[in-house]
């Protein structure tokens, strides 16, 4: 009896074995991991300063009003205009290519690249007649001469943007070279005029290499 009583007391005092529990198959991610996800992975949050600043280029001029548009068209002979939406994924996907082309082809006296946020500057968007974004327009001497609407996939759109810019920049550059060559030939012809009309004026800058020729 004593032995049975001791065994019963020992069994009562021993704690029961712990039953293992199964972890749920799907657990929610900790709240702290959300902040480490890049903005573009969370519904393309374009308000993130790091994302927006990375897409800016000093070679591209943002237009905020119709006055800005008129000034840009009047200041440069060839003007490229990118029309985009501030919440358009494709617009920001192709913007990097447009900025790169601007840095490569901007010419201080001739070629300019500009941007218009259609959902923020609605009056300018209505004036240029944009219906879908992204849209790229080309202006020559203040008149719209070409337009590209980026409805295809991003790689196709970026390729077309490059072709569009190269075509018009090459065209204007070739025309400038023809004008310069024509002007140079005119000067040569006048200098070699047989009637002697190309004569230095009184007080012209004359040196050991000859006199500066001045025409009326």
Residue 40 has a pLDDT of 35
Across the strands, what pairs with 143?
140
Helix-strand-coil split of the chain, %, nearest 5: 45, 15, 40
Q: For residues 179 and 37, which has the higher predicted lDDT (pLDDT)?
A: 179
As given in the structure block, the two tokens for residue 90 are 């494709």
Asked if pLDDT for residue 216 goes beyond 60, the answer is: no
Mean pLDDT over residues 101-123, rounded? Answer: 93
Q: For residues 80 and 177, which has the higher predicted lDDT (pLDDT)?
A: 80
Cβ–Cβ < 8 Å for 123, 70: no
Span of 19-28, 51-60, 67-76, 115-124 with lowest mean pLDDT: 19-28
Residue 115 has a pLDDT of 95
Q: For residues 201 and 126, which has the higher predicted lDDT (pLDDT)?
A: 126
**Average pLDDT over the chain, rounded to whole?**
76
Asked if pLDDT for residue 69 goes beyond 70, the answer is: yes
Lay out the sheet containing 143-149: strands in order across: 60-62, 111-117, 78-84, 135-140, 143-149
Asked if pLDDT for residue 29 goes beyond 50, the answer is: no
Q: For residues 3 and 45, which has the higher predicted lDDT (pLDDT)?
A: 3
Percent of the chain residues topping a pLDDT of 90: 47
Residue 45 has a pLDDT of 38
| 207: three-class secondary structure by DSSP | strand
Asked if pLDDT for residue 7 goes beyond 70, the answer is: no
Percent of the chain residues topping a pLDDT of 70: 62
Residue 161 has a pLDDT of 94
- Pick the most confident of 38-47, 97-106, 192-201: 97-106
Distance CA 166, CA 144 (A): 17
Span of 30-39, 74-83, 109-118 with lowest mean pLDDT: 30-39
Q: Rg of the chain's alpha carbons, rounded to an integer?
A: 36
């Amino acid at each position: 009896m004593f032995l049975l009583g001791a065994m019963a007391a020992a069994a009562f005092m021993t704690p029961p074995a712990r039953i293992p529990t199964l972890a749920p198959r799907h657990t929610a991610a900790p709240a702290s991991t959300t902040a480490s996800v890049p903005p573009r992975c969370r519904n393309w949050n374009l308000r993130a300063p790091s994302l927006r600043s990375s897409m800016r280029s000093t070679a591209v001029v943002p237009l905020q009003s119709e006055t800005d548009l008129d000034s840009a068209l009047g200041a440069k002979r060839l003007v490229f205009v990118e029309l985009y939406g501030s919440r358009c994924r494709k617009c920001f996907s192709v913007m990097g290519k447009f900025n790169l082309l601007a840095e490569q082809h901007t010419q201080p006296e001739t070629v300019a690249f500009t941007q218009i946020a259609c959902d923020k500057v609605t009056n300018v968007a209505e004036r240029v007649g944009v219906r879908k974004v992204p849209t790229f327009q080309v202006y020559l001497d203040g008149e719209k001469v070409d337009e590209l609407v980026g409805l295809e996939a991003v790689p196709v759109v970026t390729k077309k943007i490059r072709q569009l810019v190269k075509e018009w920049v090459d065209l204007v550059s070739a025309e400038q070279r023809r004008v310069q060559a024509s002007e140079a030939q005119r000067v040569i012809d006048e200098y070699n005029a047989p009637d002697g009309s190309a004569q230095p004026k009184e007080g012209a800058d004359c040196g050991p290499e000859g006199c500066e020729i001045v025409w009326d």
